[in-house]
Structure 1
Amino acid sequence: MTAAPDSRLHVLVVDDDPLNLRIAARLLRELGHQGALVNNGAKAVQLAREQRFDLVLLDIHMPGLGGQDTLAALRSLPPGSARPKVLMVSGEADPATQAHFLAAGADGFLTKPLARDPLAQALASLSRGRPLA
């Protein structure tokens, strides 16, 4: 199942692991969406200032600007900026971690390894204007 051209999403994938970036890029292509890939939080924030993204898939644990600080920076973009939805992505799937990031402003949470069906469901919800969490 791929996205119709008018429901194609522009997704920023932020992960310091090259394999995780490749997996996310492949899944996004298969699902009919566009993906931009960066390997750290600072690059993600800079790119989000320069381009409009519908969604950011954001790894929690990264060197330098980690997931929490990157999320805070994305949420503090200047007024008038398109505020992307943010899905945190981590192998830490425990409820406390998820609740922490949802309270910090994330729109949802996906666990690693990133899988097609949960990603497809989140993207479909976003395409239809439904909440992700």
Structure 2
Amino acid sequence: MLIEMSGDEQRLSEPVLNVLVVDDDELMQHTLSVYLSSLGHSDVIASNGQQALDCLRDEHFDVILLDINMPVMNGSEVLAAIRKQEQQTGIHQIIIMVTGYAETDDLRKLTEAGADGYVVKPVDPIKLEFELIRLTR
């Protein structure tokens, strides 16, 4: 017997992720939050890198969506701090960089710095969903 399921029913079987959104732009925060909510995921917002590190001390996140250009502590500095902490804890944190830099060399540098993936602004919700699935399976 073949049972067909609608897209909403299929999504219910997908794992619910707790995502830390780190971006200083309120519109981008809202956009990413709406995308994540539509996929059934929960999110917490941090407006700069230091807030992100504070959030990580208090809560577990399945994925971090991390902007590069932010005040206080930029995304590259946050990425380096998290990867350094991982060497002590042995626990890998999935980090997807959210960037306006779409040049191949820029994206390669993000990967070399330790990013697990990236999405380019303006963020395409389908590409975001693909990265989330690719990195959490």
TM-score for the superposition, normalised by structure 1: 0.88
Residue 131 of structure 1 corresponds to none
From 97, 105, 108, give the equivalent of 1:88. 97
Higher relative contact order, chain-length normalized (CA < 8 Å, sep 6+): 1
Residue 123 of structure 1 corresponds to 132
Matches for 1:48-87 after TM superposition, within 5 Å: 48-77=56-85, 79-80=88-89, 82-87=91-96
Shift of 1:80: 3.1
Superposed CA RMSD = 1.7
Worse-matched range after superposition: 46-55 or 74-83? 74-83
Cα separation, 2, equivalents of 1:108 and 1:30: 21
Deviations 1:7-49 (A, max 9, x none): 1111100000000000000000001111111100001011112
Highest Rg: 1 or 2?
A: 2
- 8 Å contact kept, 1:49–1:77: no
Provide structure 1 residue ranges, at least 5 long, that are not aligned to the other structure. Answer: 129-133
Provide structure 2 residue ranges, at least 5 long, that are not aligned to the other structure. Answer: 1-6
- 8 Å contact kept, 1:53–1:82: no
Matches for 1:1-133 after TM superposition, within 5 Å: 1=7, 3-4=11-12, 7-77=15-85, 79-80=88-89, 82-128=91-137
> What number of residue pairs does the alignment pair up?
128
Shift of 1:101: 1.1
Cα separation, 2, equivalents of 1:64 and 1:5: 39
Question: 2:66 is paired with a residue of what secondary structure?
Answer: strand
Identity of aligned residues (%): 35
Shift of 1:52: 1.0
Shift of 1:126: 2.7
Cα separation, 2, equivalents of 1:6 and 1:80: 28
Worse-matched range after superposition: 79-88 or 65-74? 79-88
Cα separation, 2, equivalents of 1:126 and 1:104: 17
